[in-house]
Chain A
Amino acid sequence: MIIFWQTLAKAIALGSIYAIMGLSFVIIFKGTQVLNFAAGALSMAGALFMSILVVDRGFPFLPFTNPLAPADGETAGLALWIVHLVIVLMIAALMGLVIERVAIRPMVGQPLFAMAVITLGLEIAIRPFNLDATAISGRSIGVPWGTETWEIGGAIFPKSYLAAVVAAAIAFVAVFFFYRSRFGVAMRAVAFDQEAAMAQGINVGRVFAIAWALGAALAVLGAIFFAMSPWPPAGTVSLEIHPIWVFRVLPVIILGGLDSVAGAVAGGLIIAIFEIFAGQYLSQWTSILGPGYSTIVPYLVMLVVLLVRPYGLFGTEEIRRV
């Protein structure tokens, strides 16, 4: 039973991170009809900024020292860490704005696929700079709670699990309220029909910008919580893991539907539960399933769901008029 609860907690925590990442994809897709393949490089860059700010006590791109940073050899307290997190998210939003302005805005009206491939190009172009910034294969992001755990009735839960769930909840609530706001309504109108929205006096360019700023910030948020202790790179931004983990989020948004906010959250949790529980409870069949089988569980779930529902569980079915 202890193992069950530990596994469930792990699945929910991983699902929360998938959900944050999924929200990032959905917001950007909803606002600008772009599937953001650059999320991997973008989010890793953001997580590296966090490391530069908190651990190196520097500032990305600029030769200044960070005046807020904790003293040499100390880790940041929770409040200070959150302040830095907010700063990084703001930098991430700025990066989103720049990408939107430089690469996405000129492409308005082009086929969906062309826009998606532009982001693929960005991913390839940004990635070497990430490699450059890590220099060695791992970099800590200076989490105040480190590898600490709680023990409840014999079961052990890393504190990072709760942090991920809290972050996902905050992100979901923020996106939810954003949806109800003026901008959110404008975004949904733009998603429905760009020209009609423009005719109604909605500033489509601004909607694009906001979608990318918000999407980039969410992607970085996901990456930072993925860089905490129990997850693969073990408390670091890692070259091995971070550039590719975004591809594990693709099944999440497909499952939920590319344009559904609720779908991103549900998809994240479902995929994570399948992945983690398969890893935990099918492990005695590894010789049949092959080593590392749990890595492809999300894709298998995705394939099965798509056979039944080609637009995901919550996605809008494209109405095809003849």
Chain B
Amino acid sequence: MKLKRLLALLMVFGVIAAACGGSDDDSASEETDTTAAAAEESSDDDAMEEEDDAMEDDSPEPAAEIATDFGVTEDEIRVGINADLSGPFAALVSEIVESQVVYWEMVNEAGGIAGRNVVPVILDSGYATDKGIENYEELAQESEEGVLMISENTGSPITAAIAEDANDDNILVIPLSWASLWPAEENSAILGKQTTYCAESMNGVEWLKNKVEGDGKEAKLAIISRPGEYGEDGHVGAQLAAEALGIEIVYNGKGEVAGDDRTAVISQLVESGATMVWTTVTPGELADVFGQAVSQGFEADWSGNGPSFSYPALLPTDLAPAFDQYYWQSGYNTVWNGNDSPGMQQLVSEMTARRPDAVLSDSYITGWIEGIMVQTILEQAAAAGDMTREGVVAAAQDVTVDFMGLAPNQAFFGEYNDILVRESYIFDIDATAFDLQPLSAGTGSSGLIPIEEGYVGSALASYVFDGPCI
């Protein structure tokens, strides 16, 4: 009896194994079919892709001439994404990753890079540092399962945790973090994009000062920040600007937005009599401090580093009218349909065509920017005939990336003070315009209305950095 059962079981396993084995071949052939189909499709697409084709023609075609090590095969380039898809920034980051995936769909249909398709390898860190390190090790392994470079690494903490390893392993990493550490020379493999928290704060404080003084009030600054690299970086920038512009700091809440009860910060802020507030916090913390301060009758103009405010988290709340009235958002690039640049047209048309059901989001721009960076660098590496990990890091030294109007163009290596991007963006919040529609609708807004694009304050323009602010 028992023996029979065992035999039956074995047979079932055999059948399954056979099915797996047989089907493997099927899927492989199907894959090649789809790529072929994709290649055909690409011929009858819009102007943007023709441009990509043109770029494609410039790069050396025969694959054999390009040196490779890990993550690159005859027809594939594996690019790693170590993203927070289930942690506190999941909503934001999943949209960024989605738009980067769309970017690769577009590039692959246009023939890929050096004749190879770009395959994103996406791992979820949940914003936990240990999981992030584990993911990095998986992506960085020196085998056919490793990747060529990491096109997105969510968060300052995880980037700080892997930075040294990445520099040693020669794996190029684009962090989703604007800490002022990344442009520094010792971080040869970390590609800080756009301006830094520190520089952004200097711009933001100067803009706020002009706003407050334009309204006929005296500029008295309160700075509040959370503990950690992000908080400190933004905080230092605000202090530098205050020093340079001679603004009185009436409350200096450095690293004090911590824990779950923030009564202490709020009471000191309200008592300080500040007329302008600079925040380097998270949206949840901002809602708490801002909401309670406003409810106690505290009236000032608020702004803060980009990650302090989040329209999907804060504009559906009861505080939306207060944010509309008192808060100005600062950022590193433009917003969805924020301008008419070729980059924006490409992004909007591609996203709308490929993800008609996706909801409107400003985060798509960040993903697109990462895509543009990676493509430019990899094409440079291919042109130099060296698509090894080391070759990619070397290629990043030579490029100046053209973001086609989505963000200021940027080179990544050189003297800290020379390569630092100084432009930031400032937005008015319009709670009544806030309306998140599917892309196919073609309408809607994130509620952020650009006031200043590529703003550089006088304090930042003349400030000479000899290294990171922290």
The reply to whether A and B meet directly (CB within 8 Å) is yes
Structural contact, B319 and A235, CB atoms closer than 8 A: yes
Structural contact, B263 and A229, CB atoms closer than 8 A: no
Structural contact, B319 and A234, CB atoms closer than 8 A: yes
The answer for the CA separation of A300 and B362 in the assembled complex, in Å, is 44
- A234 touches which of B256, B259, B312, B318 (Cβ 8 Å): B318
Which residues in B have their C-beta under 8 angstroms from that of A231? 288
Residue interface mask B253-271, A partner, CB < 8 A = 1: 0011111111111011001
Of the listed stretches B115-123, B171-179, B211-219, B292-300, chain A binds B292-300
B310 CB within 8 Å of chain A: yes
- B312 touches which of A136, A229, A286 (Cβ 8 Å): A136
B14 CB within 8 Å of chain A: no
A133-171 contacts to B (CB < 8 Å): 135-140, 143, 146-147, 149, 151, 156, 158
A63 CB within 8 Å of chain B: no
Which residues in A have their C-beta under 8 angstroms from that of B86? 128, 131
Structural contact, B287 and A295, CB atoms closer than 8 A: no
Most buried by A among B227, B257, B319: B319
Once A6-B296, A240-B88 are accepted as A-B contacts, the answer to whether A229 and B256 lie under 8 Å apart by CB is no
B450 CB within 8 Å of chain A: no
A276 CB within 8 Å of chain B: yes
A294 CB within 8 Å of chain B: yes
Structural contact, A137 and B267, CB atoms closer than 8 A: no
Which residues in B have their C-beta under 8 angstroms from that of A135? 91
- B263 touches which of A55, A239, A276 (Cβ 8 Å): A276
- What's the nearest-Cβ distance from chain A to residue B77, in Å? 32
B317 CB within 8 Å of chain A: yes
B45-73 contacts to A (CB < 8 Å): none
B residues adjacent to A (C-beta < 8 A): 86, 88, 90-91, 227, 255-265, 267-268, 271, 282-284, 287-288, 290-292, 294-297, 310, 312-314, 316-319, 321-322
Can you list the 10 inter-chain pairs with the closest CB atoms, starting with the nearest?
A: A292-B259, A279-B263, A295-B259, A292-B258, A235-B318, A234-B287, A234-B291, A283-B264, A240-B284, A291-B258
- CB pairs A–B below 8 angstroms (18 shown): A55-B316, A136-B313, A137-B284, A137-B310, A147-B321, A156-B295, A230-B291, A232-B284, A240-B282, A244-B260, A248-B260, A276-B263, A279-B261, A279-B264, A280-B267, A292-B261, A292-B264, A295-B259
- Sample of 18 further A-B pairs with CB below 8 A, known A234-B290, A236-B317: A7-B267, A10-B263, A55-B316, A138-B283, A138-B313, A146-B318, A230-B295, A232-B288, A234-B319, A236-B313, A245-B260, A280-B263, A283-B264, A286-B264, A293-B264, A294-B261, A295-B259, A297-B261
